[in-house]
Amino acid sequence: MIGRHLRLGVVGARSLATAPIRRAGADASASTPHPTTTADYNRLLAGYARSPDRRLADARHLFDRIPNPDAVSYNTLLSCHFARGDVAGARELFSAMPARDVASWNTMVSGLSRNGDLEEARAVFLAMPARNSVSWNAMVSGLASAGDMANAEECFRDAPHKEDAVLWTAMVSGYMDAGNVEKAVRFFHAMPVRNLVSWNAVVAGYVKNSRGEEALRVFKTLVTAADVRPNESTLSSVLLGCSNLSALGFGRQVHQWCTKLPLSRRVTVGTALVSMYCKCGDLEGACRLFGEMRTRDVVAWNAMISGYAQHGDGREAIRLFEKMKGTGVEPNWITFVAVLTACIHTGLCDFGIQCFEGMQEAYGIKPRVDHYSCMVDLLCRAGLLERSVNLIRSMPFEPHPSAYGTLLAACRVYKNLEFAEFAAGKLIEQNPQSAGAYVQLANIYAAANQWADVSRVRRWMKDNAVVKTPGYSWVEIKGVIHEFRSNDRLHPQLHLIHGKLGQLEERMKAMGYVPDLDFALHDVEESLKVQMLMRHSEKLAIAFGLISTAPGLTLRIFKNLRICGDCHNAAKLISKIEDREIILRDTTRFHHFRGGHCSCGDYW
């Protein structure tokens, strides 16, 4: 009976050792008997170790009531100490143990490693009178998690139990976390036995290292394997890969696969699918799926609110926020990041300020650096540059680079060189090797025709060995991702793309389009600037999408940098000329171009 209550996750308070134990929601008469044996006490103690709130004081109180605690009792309490981060208490208990078995030593090695005390973990490991496979797994996992791959590999080689999948998976995850994908994959392929955790480590590692296509390929192999079945962790990773690649077609395939399994009804999987649809540009699909979810936690609500915000439907995001509160779900700090983002992309400055100033009083949520960064963005987009600078200077912590980046971008719109130089200087101070600040500052100087300053910034970049992040755009056609760079010369259908762009240019000019030469950032003749503008990666991707799909179909274009102003103007006109919706995602938001207008209302 006690075991049943523990499996249900029900653990009593301090009075458990002296009062009957009742299952939550059950009648008062439905109770369990007092623990009578050490095994009974141990099962109750294990419940504390597994419970979400990790009630260490209650666990200790129960332990003190055990008439004859055995090694299991001590080891379980040891786990409770580590679960609460009480390393000092764990050391004290370990020293006081009348007898230690191999599990006691393993718990110390694992607990010390998880709590960041790797040096002591190694000392305990080396002092062990006897080791088993769990000991080696704990030590290798601890070293790998800490990024000490040289010692992790040395320990791996010394391990006598090479058939253990846990040992190999620790090496795979460690090298993936260290960014050494090739070595991680070599370990994966050399594994004598693989389990689902091993497969998940590879899929998640590829996604973490921005190699989404390889992650999707591994997932395809996994779903055809006879001995393993994907779980929630697998699906979350592969759907994140789809989101990063904007591979909506493959994401839909994963969704179809999910519907065949009970997994699809779990809130974590539903949330991952909602997030994937939002990030891949299918807001309608995300909204439909969200409406079908039987259970929604705050993470699910946050995903949908964020989706509306990123797609520029700020008012719907705020409506959903109010609806969430009406259901009794408490917002968290991420919710307010989503709501402030909605205000940013819809120009709702007053409401955003109200949320920022009221979140601590109403919900006890102290503003974090993310909220301050959102407020800087909100004020900048409203043209309140001086107020945003004052907010940056008054932050109670070091401003995030995104705050300075937002200010720098706004300085280009409002042609404010003083604040631009301030923001760029701070960004370069925070990260001298990041190209963004140099490029933005050079662009601002170029727009002001200060070409000597442009040259100075470029020399500065060269002297500091700063490499500019190349801009590119991509579009998915029939499951294949086509990538374009500005002035691309490699695509096999380039002549057709240029032909389509030529037709569009003539029709746009007839509608009053004038190329915005401020976005042709080279000191060359005007005619060449116009030609360069028409070869921007966004326009190439749009033109290719138009010639590759049936009339009337929605185009989904993605860019790794912020869309340029001239491409934004052109996309509005092209949506009207072609009578199509063009959805374009850049680093800040989604732009829905329809009938000559953009959902952002030119706030971006």
Quick one: tokens of 334? 């991420």
What's the rounded mean pLDDT across residues 565-571? 93
What's the rounded mean pLDDT across residues 518-545? 78
Of 419, 413, 439, 417, the residue nearest 428 (C-alpha): 439
Task: Give residue 213's pLDDT band: very low, low, confident or very high (50, 70, 90).
Answer: confident
Task: Give residue 303's pLDDT band: very low, low, confident or very high (50, 70, 90).
Answer: very high
Percent with pLDDT over 90 in the chain: 67
Answer for the pair 401, 430: CB distance below 8 angstroms, yes or no.
yes
Q: What confidence score (pLDDT) does residue 551 get?
A: 96
Of 129-138, 172-181, 195-204, 518-527, the one with minimum mean pLDDT is 518-527
Q: What confidence score (pLDDT) does residue 1 get?
A: 34
481 beta partners: 476
Quick one: tokens of 195? 């389990």
Of 77-86, 460-469, 514-523, the one with minimum mean pLDDT is 514-523
Does 261 have pLDDT greater than 90? no
Complete edge-to-edge strand list for the sheet that includes strand 555-559: 480-485, 472-477, 555-559, 582-585, 590-594, 597-598
Answer for the pair 206, 215: CB distance below 8 angstroms, yes or no.
yes
- Give tens-digit pLDDT for 369-383: 999 999 999 999 999
Phi and psi for 356 in degrees, rounded to 5? -60, -45
Does 19 have pLDDT greater than 50? no
Going 388 to 389 to 390 to 393, the CA torsion angle's sign is positive
Q: What confidence score (pLDDT) does residue 130 get?
A: 93
What's the rounded mean pLDDT across residues 508-532? 73
Quick one: tokens of 36? 């009578």
Q: What confidence score (pLDDT) does residue 556 get?
A: 96
Domains of the chain, with CATH numbers? 1-99 (no CATH), 386-469 (1.25.40), 474-598 (no CATH)
Helices 196-208 and 165-177, packing angle to 10 deg: 0
Task: Give residue 11's pLDDT band: very low, low, confident or very high (50, 70, 90).
Answer: very low
What's the rounded mean pLDDT across residues 547-573? 94
Q: What confidence score (pLDDT) does residue 34 get?
A: 64
What's the rounded mean pLDDT across residues 52-81? 85
Q: What confidence score (pLDDT) does residue 506 get?
A: 95
Q: Which one of 83-87, 108-112, 241-245, 476-480 scores highest in mean pLDDT?
A: 108-112
Does 400 have pLDDT greater than 90? yes
Of 67, 114, 66, 62, the residue nearest 90 (C-alpha): 114
Quick one: tokens of 51? 């419970």
> What SS3 class is residue 21?
strand
Phi and psi for 482 in degrees, rounded to 5? -105, 125
Does 25 have pLDDT greater than 70? no
Strand 21-22, strand 31-32: pairing = antiparallel
281 beta partners: none
Q: How far apart are CA 51 and CA 8, in angstroms?
A: 10
- Give tens-digit pLDDT for 100-146: 999 999 999 999 999 989 999 999 999 999 999 999 999 999 999 99
SS (HEC) of 433-482: CCHHHHHHHHHHHHHCCCHHHHHHHHHHHHHCCCCCCCCEEEEEECCEEE
Q: How far apart are CA 203 and CA 200, in angstroms?
A: 5
Q: What confidence score (pLDDT) does residue 265 get?
A: 82
Q: What confidence score (pLDDT) does residue 149 get?
A: 96
Task: Give residue 35's pLDDT band: very low, low, confident or very high (50, 70, 90).
Answer: low
What's the rounded mean pLDDT across residues 552-575? 94
Task: Give residue 57's pLDDT band: very low, low, confident or very high (50, 70, 90).
Answer: confident
Answer for the pair 474, 538: CB distance below 8 angstroms, yes or no.
no
> Residue 337, Cα to own-chain centre: how many angstroms?
14
Instruction: Tell me what the pLDDT averaged over the chain comes to.
Output: 88
Q: Is 45 exposed, middle or buried (0-12, 13-18, 19+ CB in 10 A)?
A: buried
Strand 590-594, strand 472-477: pairing = unpaired
32 beta partners: 21
Q: What confidence score (pLDDT) does residue 225 get?
A: 77
Instruction: Indicate the length of the chain as a whole number.
Output: 604
Say if pTM beats, i.e. exceeds, 0.75.
Answer: yes
Going 38 to 43 to 49 to 51, the CA torsion angle's sign is negative
Q: How far apart are CA 604 and CA 597, in angstroms?
A: 14
What's the rounded mean pLDDT across residues 313-322? 95
